[in-house]
Amino acid sequence: MPPMIRHLGDRGLLVELGRGIDPAVNRRVKQLHRIIARERPHGVVETVPAYASLLVVFDPLQASPEALKRQIIGLCDFEDAGPTEDRAVVEIPVVYGGEAGPDLDAVAAHHGLSREAVIGLHTGTVYRVYMIGFTPGFPYMGELPEALDTPRRDTPRTHIPKGSVAIAQRQTGIYPAVSPGGWQIIGRTPVALFDPRKETPSFLTMGDAVRFTPITGEEAAQWPL
């Protein structure tokens, strides 16, 4: 679909490049994000990528929204770089079930599967990081196998431990810090997802490919912090 641009207040333009969870659309969002960072249109403060859209935040004292819209439409005229633009697969170790994954048994029961089958489905897919959001470093990844399409919890938790690996509908994600949340927690990783002291604070970035691998609690305890 051609790009659609909507006003968000007096400082934002939302550039919509498609609908839903679609790798091709998400690649275009990432490309536009990079192009605007490279071209640096006058008055643009920052861009925030999502699944199928890009928020362009600008200074209204420096840029006319209508002129900026025309410039953005011109920048959208590019070819899809294809899946080869993404980097190698990042492996994330996970301790599944028990205290680390309190919802694993409920997810298994919901689908009429064994715990081992749920783990096998979750680890048997390579996921795309579609966006980072909710909390700093939280990766929204998809798509989860259809056999694990699971609704969010009826009652969200107020305290989810750092590193919790969760699923909801056709998405999976990791909580980088202690926070509330309503996704189904099936495991926990010892990998630090966000470190503000680093030049690139977020361990994962939009477009990354991720595969989960099961480990034991003893192996997680030995993970370098």
pLDDT at 80: 66
pLDDT at 187 over 70: yes
Q: Which residues of 40-70 are buried (b: 16+ CB within 10 A; e: fewer)?
A: ebebbeebebbbbbbebebeeeebebeebbe
Last residue of a domain, one of 51, 84, 117: 84
DSSP alpha helices (H): ranges in the chain? Answer: 23-39, 65-75, 104-111, 115-123, 217-221
Instruction: Say whether both 202 and 98 belong to one domain.
Output: yes
Instruction: Say whether both 104 and 213 belong to one domain.
Output: yes
The Cα 39–Cα 31 span in angstroms is 12
The Cα 219–Cα 151 span in angstroms is 30
Crossing angle of helices 104-111 and 115-123, rounded to 10°: 100
Instruction: Say whether both 77 and 113 belong to one domain.
Output: no
pLDDT at 222: 77
Number of domains in the chain: 2
For the four alpha carbons of 14, 202, 136 and 205, in that order, the dihedral sign comes to positive
How do residues 144-180 score in pLDDT, each as one tens digit? Answer: 999 999 999 999 999 999 999 999 999 999 999 999 9
Task: Indicate the pLDDT class of residue 96, thresholds 50, 70 and 90.
Answer: very high
pLDDT at 114 over 70: yes
Last residue of a domain, one of 84, 118, 145: 84
Last residue of a domain, one of 47, 64, 84: 84
pLDDT at 130: 95
For the ranges 78-92, 115-129, 184-198, the lowest mean pLDDT is seen at 78-92
* Stretch 99-114: mean pLDDT: 96
CB atoms within 10 A of CB 223: 14
Instruction: Say whether both 130 and 185 belong to one domain.
Output: yes
Task: Indicate the pLDDT class of residue 88, thresholds 50, 70 and 90.
Answer: confident
pLDDT at 45: 95
The Cα 40–Cα 43 span in angstroms is 8
The residue segments making up the domain with residue 123 are: 89-221
pLDDT at 97: 96
* Stretch 210-215: mean pLDDT: 96
pLDDT at 82: 62
Give the whole-number percent of the chain exceeding pLDDT 90. Answer: 80
pLDDT at 6 over 60: yes
More confident residue, 152 or 217: 152
Instruction: Say whether both 79 and 105 belong to one domain.
Output: no
Q: Which is nearest to 46 in space by CA: 75, 78, 13?
A: 13
CATH number at residue 52: 3.30.1360.40
* Stretch 207-222: mean pLDDT: 89
27, two tokens: 């690649």
Instruction: Say whether both 53 and 67 belong to one domain.
Output: yes
Instruction: Say whether both 109 and 71 belong to one domain.
Output: no
pLDDT at 110 over 90: yes
pLDDT at 81: 60
pLDDT at 20: 86
Residue with tokens 């091709």, as numbered in its chain: 24
Mean of per-residue pLDDT scores for the chain: 92
pLDDT at 189 over 60: yes
pLDDT at 224 over 80: no
Instruction: Say whether both 54 and 152 belong to one domain.
Output: no
Instruction: Say whether both 20 and 120 belong to one domain.
Output: no
Instruction: Say whether both 125 and 169 belong to one domain.
Output: yes
* Stretch 10-36: mean pLDDT: 92
Residues 6+ apart with CB under 8 A from 83: 23, 27
